[in-house]
Amino acid sequence: MITEKKISNKQKTLKQSFNFEGIGLHSGITSKVTVYPERDDYGIVFIRKNLSKNNEIRAHWSNVTSTKLCTTISNNSGASVQTIEHLMSALSGMHIDNAKIEVEGPEIPIMDGSAEPFVKLIEKVGVIDQSKDRKYIRVLKEVIVEGEDDFVKIRPHNKFSVEFEIDFPSNVISNQSCHLQMINGNYKEDISKARTFGFIEEVDKLRSLGFALGGSLDNAIVIDKDNILNKEGLRYADEFVRHKILDSIGDLYLAGSPVIGYFEARKSGHKLNNKLLEKLLSKKSNWTYV
């Protein structure tokens, strides 16, 4: 039996700022990012530092403007930040409630394709409790969003738990499933290291559409038929489905508060994650703050 560690219910922010830079997975453009501590109830806000005005974008599901291969948020003036899901996942997994993120570029750097670099940076500067209590979104009713052969749903549960299943026509991936209850800081070891992945035969098509321009073996698992091209191999036996969980944790943090519920998904992605939040939060009888 696992004994759950007692974690403070106070809001949290960083002890000090940190910065990083790198290439964007899709844009291929190098961006510089600085993440700052912020006051109670500030939330997570992105600032497009290289734009002179109307450059603030709150990290919220209602500001999601694209879910094509990544999650993009924008404001009413058209300022946007692309591929925020891995950084948002790390902030969620490390319990950061309040932070300002200044971005000099159109996209959050992909780093190594996982959330681990962000986790390490957060650990390096440290996390502090703030004066106000955290507000959680507790799911009261089951909500489901279905696609053609994919779905996401969330139902009442006493903890935040995740169950995910994927199925790809590749012997390297095939059918994988993973179920985790997010307690005792297990995000760092069980989720954060899982990298994004793609198939080499899709690269030319994606790049012709303006995606994966910065993709490489340094920031993604690349699959060629039934072979993994990365010499170091996998970090987890089921790294592919764990990365899908990593993405979902980042997308769900766009609720504006941590969610308490049982999240279940099959073959889904950013689009259904965003639709699930919209359906869940648009009806007050589905949820409550605790």
* Span 33-42, pLDDT tens digits: 999 999 999 9
Dihedral-angle region of residue 212 (phi above 0 means left; psi in -120 to 50 means alpha; beta otherwise)? left
Reported as a pLDDT band with limits 50, 70 and 90, residue 4 is: low
Q: What is the pLDDT of residue 5?
A: 66
Give me the catalytic one of 26, 86, 243, 270. 270
Residue type, 197: F
Structure tokens at 156: 């009442």
Q: Is 243 a catalytic residue?
A: no
Residue 102 has pLDDT above 70, yes or no: yes
- pLDDT tens profile 161-175: 999 999 999 999 999
Residue 105 has pLDDT above 60, yes or no: yes
pLDDT confidence band for 1 (50 / 70 / 90): very low
Cβ atoms of residues 40 and 15 within 8 Å: no
* CA of residue 177 relative to chain centroid, distance: 18
Please check the confidence at residue 56 and state whether its pLDDT lies above 90. yes
Domains along the sequence of the chain with CATH: 11-133 (3.30.230.20), 137-289 (3.30.1700.10)
pLDDT tier at 8, thresholds 50, 70, 90: confident
Task: For residue 287, list its beta bridge partners.
Answer: 139
